[in-house]
Every structure is written in C-alpha cells, then in structure tokens.
Amino acid sequence: MIYGYVNSENILLFTTNNDTPQQIDGLTCVQVDFDIGNPPSIYSVFNYQTKQWVDPRTDQQKYELACEQIIGQRNQFLYESDWTQIPNNPLTPEKQQEWADYRQQLRDITQQSGYPFNVIWPTPPQG
C-alpha cells in the first residue's frame, strides 16, 4: 500500500510504501491509489485535492528566476568572448568591431520586448 502525507494546504509532501501509516504531526496520511506521475518541473508540487501538479511560485518569482538564468547565460557568453577585446588579440580591426557589436547586443538583451521569457540571442561572429 502507498501512503501519502499531505500538509494543511493539500500539498502531497512525500509518499511511502510502508505497511502501516505513520502519525506525523501537522500532516494527514492518505492512501495514494493513483499514479501521480512525474513533476513537470523542479518547482512543481502535487495538490492532493485537485490531483494535479502545480507550480506554487508567484509570477514575480518566475520572472526573477528567468532573469537570473538569462543574465547568467549572457555573462557566460561575455566571458567567453572577453579575449576579443584585449590588446594584441589576433583579430583584424574589423573582426574585433564585429565582436564588440555582438557583445553590445548581449548587454542589450534585457531591453528585448520578450525578456526574460522569450529572448533572441545574437549570433557570434564567425572566424
């Protein structure tokens, strides 16, 4: 038998296949006789009342996390292209300018209308 432990907000915190249900302060033990499947994301929690996975984060929390991820990726691209802007690099002046333009596009990523959920990444120069 599979038992689940639900908090006061009807969120299924964990399941167990113990022979007998346990008494845990603040949690209600329920019989789980259906497949809950896998969570759609690492942020999902299972609502026992509705029998659905839900994302409890607020829109602001989702926005802030998306911003952190985009900025992190942007910073990695900038880091990987730092060499293009140092003195005595092997690039021609024209190529160095292409890289400077690319890097500026990366810095301007936060100005895109779809930021942070629908970002169009600039393409780095070839060569």
Asked whether residue 41 falls in the same domain as residue 21, the answer is yes
Comparing CA positions, the residue from 67, 68, 66, 42 lying closest to residue 56 is: 42
Asked whether residue 10 falls in the same domain as residue 31, the answer is yes
What digits encode the pLDDT tens for the residues 12-28?
A: 999 998 888 889 999 99
Mean pLDDT of 76-93: 96
Asked whether residue 63 falls in the same domain as residue 107, the answer is yes
Mean pLDDT of 93-98: 96
Owning domain of residue 18: 3-54
Q: Is residue 16 part of a domain?
A: yes
Residue at a domain's end among 54, 77, 97: 54
Query: How buried is residue 124: exposed, middle or buried, by Cβ count under 10 Å (0-12/13-18/19+)?
Result: middle
Percent of the chain whose predicted confidence (pLDDT) is above 90: 93
Helix (H, G, I), strand (E, B) or coil at 37: coil
Whether residue 127 has pLDDT greater than 80: no
Mean per-residue pLDDT of the chain:
95
Q: Residues near 68 by Cβ (< 8 Å), separated by ≥ 6?
A: none
Asked whether residue 50 falls in the same domain as residue 64, the answer is no
Amino acid residing at 42: I
Q: Is residue 116 part of a domain?
A: no
